[in-house]
Amino acid sequence: MRKKCKSILCMVLAMVVMFTMTACGGSEKEEKDKSDSTQGSDSKTAENGEFSWDMCKGQTIQVLFNEHPYSAAIVEHIKDFEELTGIKVQHSTIPETNYFDKVSVLLNSGGDNLDIFMTGPYQIWEYAGAGYMEDLEPFIQDPAKTAPDWQAEDFYQTILDSGRWDGISGHSMGEGSLWGLPMGYESDVLVYNKRILEEHGIEVPKTTSELLEAASALQGHSGENTYGVALRGELGWASLITAYQCFYSMWGGKDFAAEGGKLASQVNSPEAVEMTDWYVKLIQQGGSPTWAKATWYDLVTDIGNGTAAMMIDSSSCCFTPCVPGASKEAENLVVTTIPRPDGAGEDDDAYQLWTWSLAMNSASEKKDASWLFLQYFTSSEFHVKAFEHAQTVNAPRQSTTDSASYSAMVDAVQGYTEATEATVDATKMYYTPETEVFNVLYEWCATIQELTEGKYASTQEGMDELKETLDKIVSGIEVKE
């Protein structure tokens, strides 16, 4: 009897647990099924008839954002979109360090847990190559789906085309399907603190040797801990795609060359070694003592409070501390172009492009609703609002650049407009599209960190070793003509 009692108690306990669990789970499932079925029937109405914002009324889409002022601006206006279209938007914002890991997992699962996400150009090679992304061109071309006032031609052509790619490793971007719509783009510039430079009688560097000289001379400019030039250095691909990549390309360095249907790394070519050697010296003699853990926000902090005399990074990161009131040294900060390698001219200019774009999951079951979201949040009207809200720069649309609020914001930063005009034409993707890009850039960055710590006898040795590693990483990629 007693034993029975005990086992009954246990069974009951177990059943209670199971029951509450399945009950919770069950109701959740049911709800989802219901909404799924209604959505299925609704999207058909979009097939015929004219464009109307409420053609996907009642649907729910899921949007994943990276933490960024651009996405913050969208989040701020999602209510407006929901009111206009009757679409419900579920969104989530992920910290930048883990953002792409999460996107990769969601896309790979092929499920319908993701409709829209933010992407950068490098990620397109992996995602579009795998078939995870929806070509947006057909939507733009379809007058039944795209509002007449959306104005594709208002985008800067080079920036919009930077989202195009034919999906073949080794082929450069700019042609083929359109994988994303730009939210903004980033070029690369130099920021200097004119007060500090003047105090030390140092001219604004125009060449790389002048830059090295100036940065070395400014080391410890206002006492201990202050240094010449702020550069990103934290281990990761992000540390290579701004300053390093610009100098590398301007020096004439190439990442890969196609050899017999395979990619062959060029990181130990004479230009590449010479450039890297110079870059390592720049860090050692004029960079931050804690360069190897410097992220973009360390750079912004250091230039903003006068710890660093100069900073080279993406234009949006460089802009941030220069806005009056945004930092202690804001009024002394001036934006200008990146110094050119000695003997290089205007033709050698190369500024690495970064774009944050909005893209659509090809496995999405609510593509029309997703497209409505995409066009709403890339429209000229919204972009003007977004850039005002985000207090950030490099708008991808002409109409935004022309707007009063945008010019007022940009004009407040010294040298910014001139620098943008001088760099925009040479701002593009200088990296060879291939799907192992992150592995390649990580190894590359690790080598530079090791070179900076003096772990190799010479730069040549380090880069030779790196070439071997990189060739192995990309050995599985076939390059077609």
Partner 1 sequence: MKELTKKPLLVRIRPWLILLPTLVVTLGILYPFATAIYYSFTDYSLKSTAYEFVGIKNWVEMFTGKEFWHSLGVTLKYAVLATALEMILGMVIALTLNTEKRWAGILKVILIFPLMVAPVIAVLLWSLMTNTSIGILEKFLNLFGVYAFPWWAASSTALFSVVMIDVWVNTPFVLLLVLAGLQGLPKSPYEAARIDGGSAWFTFKTLTLPLLKPVLLIALIFRIVSTVQEFSIIYATTKGGPGDTLMNLSLSAYMDGYTYSSIGRAIPQILVLWILINVITKKLVGAWLKAKSAN
Partner 2 sequence: MEQKKRGEKALMLAGKVLLVFYTLFAVFPLIWMIIIAFKGDSQMYDTLFIFHPTLANFKNVLTKGSYVKAFVSNLIISGGAVLVSVLVGVPAAYALARYEFKHKEGVAFTILSFKFAPEILIIIPVFTIFQKLKLYDTYFGMIWIYQFIGLPLLIWVLRGYFEDIPVEMERAAELDGYSKREIFFKMLIPLIRPGLVAAALLSFIFCWNNFTFGLMLCGFKIQTITVSALTYISTSTIHYGQMAVVSVIAIIPEIIMCLCIQKHLVRGLSFGAVKG
Contact 357, 396 (CB under 8 A): no
Residue 225, binding choice from partner 1, partner 2, none, Cβ under 5 to 8 Å by partner class: partner 1
Cβ burial 345-372 (10 Å sphere, 16+ → b, else e) = eeeebbbbbbbbbbbbbbbbbbbbbbbb
Of 394 and 435, which has the nearer Cβ to partner 1? 435
Output the CA–CA distances (angstroms, integers) from residue 373 to 66, 146, 186, 266, 405, in the order listed. Answer: 16, 11, 23, 42, 24
Q: Is 105 near partner 2 (CB under 8 A)?
A: yes
Give CA–CA dist 393/285, Å, rounded: 31
Taking the complex as a whole, how short is the minimal distance between the CB of residue 174 and partner 1, in angstroms? 22
Residue 324, binding choice from partner 1, partner 2, none, Cβ under 5 to 8 Å by partner class: none
Residue 458, binding choice from partner 1, partner 2, none, Cβ under 5 to 8 Å by partner class: none
Helices and strands counted in the chain (H then E): 19, 15
Give CA–CA dist 403/121, Å, rounded: 27
Kindly write out the interface string for residues 44-83 of this chain, putting x where it contacts partner 1 by CB under 8 A and - elsewhere.
----------------------------------------
| HEC letters along 308-366 | EEEEEEEHHHHHHHHCCCCCCCHHHEEEECCCECCCCCHHHCCEECEEEEEEEECCCCC
Q: Is 209 near partner 2 (CB under 8 A)?
A: no
Q: Which amino acid is at 340?
A: R
Of 6 and 32, which has the nearer Cβ to partner 1? 6
Q: Which stretch binds partner 1 (CB under 8 A): 66-74, 100-108, 156-164, 186-194?
A: 100-108
Q: Is 126 near partner 1 (CB under 8 A)?
A: yes
Q: Is 457 near partner 2 (CB under 8 A)?
A: no
Among 317, 422, 463, 479, binds partner 2 (CB under 8 A): 317
Q: Which of 323, 471, 346 is nearest to 409 (CA)?
A: 323
Among 23, 293, 342, 408, binds partner 1 (CB under 8 A): 293
Kindly write out the interface string for residues 231-270 of this chain, putting x where it contacts partner 1 by CB under 8 A and - elsewhere.
--xxxx----------------------------------
Of 89 and 263, which has the nearer Cβ to partner 2? 89
Give CA–CA dist 117/130, Å, rounded: 16
Give CA–CA dist 258/99, Å, rounded: 31
Residue 129, binding choice from partner 2, partner 1, none, Cβ under 5 to 8 Å by partner class: partner 1
Give CA–CA dist 432/216, Å, rounded: 33
Q: Which of 243, 247, 190, 250 is nearest to 214 (CA)?
A: 190
Q: Report CA 56 to chain centroid distance, whole Å.
A: 30
Of 394 and 447, which has the nearer Cβ to partner 1? 447
Among 115, 186, 188, 298, binds partner 1 (CB under 8 A): 298
Q: Is 291 near partner 1 (CB under 8 A)?
A: yes
Taking the complex as a whole, how short is the minimal distance between the CB of residue 270 and partner 1, in angstroms? 24
Q: Report CA 169 to chain centroid distance, whole Å.
A: 20
Residue 300, binding choice from partner 1, partner 2, none, Cβ under 5 to 8 Å by partner class: partner 2
What is the maximum span of the chain, computed from C-alpha positions, in angstroms? Answer: 97
Q: Which stretch binds partner 2 (CB under 8 A): 17-25, 50-58, 375-383, 407-415?
A: 17-25
Q: Which of 382, 364, 423 is nearest to 181 (CA)?
A: 382
Q: What angle do CA 8, 10, 14 make, to 5 degrees?
A: 115
Tokens of 156: 């800067």
Q: Which stretch binds partner 2 (CB under 8 A): 109-117, 202-210, 367-375, 448-456?
A: 109-117
Q: Which of 152, 171, 155 is nearest to 434 (CA)?
A: 171
Q: Which stretch binds partner 2 (CB under 8 A): 60-68, 131-139, 282-290, 467-475?
A: 60-68
Give CA–CA dist 66/92, Å, rounded: 8
Q: Is 68 near partner 2 (CB under 8 A)?
A: yes
Q: Is 392 near partner 2 (CB under 8 A)?
A: yes
Residues that bind partner 1 (CB under 8 A): 3, 6-7, 10-11, 13-14, 17-18, 97, 100-101, 104-105, 107-108, 110, 126, 129-131, 224-225, 233-236, 288-294, 298, 301-302, 305, 307, 435-436, 438-439, 442, 445-447, 449-450, 453, 455
Residues that bind partner 2 (CB under 8 A): 2, 5-6, 9-10, 13-14, 16-17, 21, 24-25, 28-29, 32, 62, 64, 67-69, 72, 90-98, 101-102, 105, 109, 111, 113, 296-297, 300-301, 305, 316-317, 320, 326-328, 390-392
